[in-house]
Amino acid sequence: MSNLVPAFYEWLSKMEENRMACGVILASCKNFSAESLELVKRDMEAQLADTMTMHFAHDKSKNILGILLEQKKLADTHFYALQVKDYLLGRKLLTGGLLIASFPESSRSSAQMLMRMIQEMKDASELGSITVYEQHAANREQEPASILLVNQDETVNEFLRIYLQRKGYQVTVAHDGMDGMEKFREAAYDLVITDLNLPVVSGYQLMEKIRHLGQEAMSKIMVLTDKRLEEDVQKSFALGASDYITKPFSPVELEARVKRLIS
């Protein structure tokens, strides 16, 4: 998981809650130091601070500079991206292209939009090119919600994978806690359904990692387990779970709770 998401966590949560417009600019910047980030922040704020509030973060592992523009739609974001591009080129900080988007024009979820934009930045792009990440409203409505299912029980995995896919969800299966962590870092999910009894890394540790990344408000968590003790329920909710279901379970009830959490 890119550190851009937890870095922007507070502002992304605010946008989600208030449905505020926000522009996002991602730029490929290798060999980008903490000093470079402070320089960019100082110069860009001096140049544009009278027109908006800006938020900056850099992911060194992915070589991405992220900029959030408060209450800016896509057209405005594109305009400011041109200025960001010229500045970064002039400072010899830009090593690839820029990807831009705006919430809610480009996606129904600001957090999911940012995470999917980060995934798209893996593709090499021409130096200085500006690409618009945008999904039309009709396509957004048709986009299936994504679920990460973390369970060591092969029978449960296969049953739920088929059942939930038939209900229109996109399901990814992880067979232990470590596999779940790796898959969670690689992609954006609307919901994580996890058991507590997991090999290698427990369900508790998985939830704690998600909370540490600042993702519990962006990816909902449902616990599906045979643990019935009150202390297990309380600990799960304390770690960020939004729902707790015990086995054996009704698939109809589970799907209804999934729909409630994702909607």
**How does pLDDT run across 161-213, given as a tens digit for each residue?**
999 999 999 999 999 999 998 888 777 788 999 999 999 899 999 999 887 76
Tell how strand 220-225 and strand 243-246 pair up: parallel
More confident residue, 150 or 31: 150
User: pLDDT of 84-106, one tens digit each?
Assistant: 999 999 999 999 999 999 888 78
**What's the CA gap between 158 and 99, in Å, rounded?**
37
What pTM value is reported for the model? Answer: 0.60
Report in angstroms the alpha-carbon separations of 14 from 17, 110, 125, 210: 5, 10, 31, 19
Residues 6+ away with beta carbon under 8 Å from 96: 27, 28, 124, 125, 126, 127
Q: What is the pLDDT of residues 116-129, one digit of tens each?
A: 888 888 665 788 99
Of 18-32, 150-164, 224-238, the range with the lowest mean pLDDT is 18-32
pLDDT of residue 171: 93
Which pLDDT does position 243 carry in this prediction? 94
Instruction: Give the pLDDT of residue 169.
Output: 92
**pLDDT tier for residue 143 given thresholds of 50, 70 and 90:** low
Pairing of strands 22-28, 130-132: unpaired
Q: Is 23 exposed, middle or buried (0-12, 13-18, 19+ CB in 10 A)?
A: buried
Strand 191-194 versus strand 220-225 pairing type: parallel
Share of the chain above pLDDT 70, in %: 90
Rounded CA-CA distance 185/176 in Å is: 14
Note the pLDDT of residue 85: 93
Q: What are phi and psi of 19, to 5 degrees?
A: 55, 45
